[in-house]
Amino acid sequence: MTNNQSDLPKIDRWHSEPLDVHKWSDHPEIKSLSDHLYAEVGINILDKSGNRKGKKSAHQMLQVLLVDLYVRWLHDPTMATGFSKNKNSYHVGSRYNKVFISPKIIQVVKVLEDEGYIDSLPGYNDRTGKGDNYTTRIRPSEKLRGEFRQISATLYDIDYHVGRELIILRERYEDETEQVHKRNIEYTDTDHTNRIREQLEAYNELLRRTFIDIPSLEEPFVRRIIETGKRAGQEIKISIGPENKHVHRVFNGTEDDNWTKGGRFYGGWWLQIPKELRKDIYINDQPTVEIDFKAMHPNMLMETSAADPYRLDRLVLPDLIPNAQQQRDVVKSLILMAINANNANGAFAAFRNAHKRGDPLKKLTNEQLQILLDAFTDQHPEMREALNTGKALHLMNLDSQIANLLIDHFTQRGFPVLCIHDSFIIQDDKQQELRKALDHASQQIIRKGIVQDTKSNGSEVPTFIQGNIKEYQTGQKAKIKIPNRVKPTEQYKLRKMKYYKWLEQREGSKI
Angular region, 267: left φ>0, alpha ψ -120 to 50, beta rest: left
Q: Where are the domains of the chain?
A: 1-163, 310-379
Beta bridge partners of 477: 464
- Fill in the amino acid letter for 36: H
For residue 5, is pLDDT > 60? Answer: no
- Fill in the amino acid letter for 197: R
For residue 97, is pLDDT > 60? Answer: yes
Predicted pLDDT at 465: 66
For residue 138, is pLDDT > 80? Answer: yes
Predicted pLDDT at 229: 67
Interacting residues of 25 by C-beta distance below 8 A, sequence separation 6+: 31, 63, 67, 153, 157, 158, 159
pLDDT digits (tens, 9 = 90+) for 438-459: 999 999 999 999 989 988 777 6
Output the average pLDDT for the chain. Answer: 90
Closest CA to 350 of 232, 180, 182, 231: 180
**Strands 167-174 and 248-252, bridge-based pairing:** parallel
* C-alpha triplet 476, 478, 483: angle, nearest 5°: 155
Length of the chain: 511
Interacting residues of 434 by C-beta distance below 8 A, sequence separation 6+: 289, 291, 406, 410, 417, 424, 426
For residue 4, is pLDDT > 70? Answer: no
| Average pLDDT of the segment spanning 287-292 | 95
pLDDT digits (tens, 9 = 90+) for 294-343: 999 999 999 888 889 999 999 999 999 999 999 999 999 999 999 999 99
Alpha-carbon distance of 70 to 154, in angstroms, equals 10
Tell me if 367 sits within 8 A of 329, measured CB to CB. Answer: no
Predicted pLDDT at 121: 95
pLDDT digits (tens, 9 = 90+) for 407-446: 999 999 999 999 999 999 999 999 999 999 999 999 999 9
pLDDT digits (tens, 9 = 90+) for 169-197: 999 887 776 677 899 999 999 999 999 99
Predicted pLDDT at 48: 74
Predicted pLDDT at 509: 63
- Fill in the amino acid letter for 13: R
pTM, rounded to two decimals: 0.87
pLDDT digits (tens, 9 = 90+) for 372-402: 999 999 999 999 999 999 999 999 999 999 9
Predicted pLDDT at 479: 63
For residue 54, is pLDDT > 60? Answer: no
Closest CA to 168 of 56, 273, 261, 61: 261
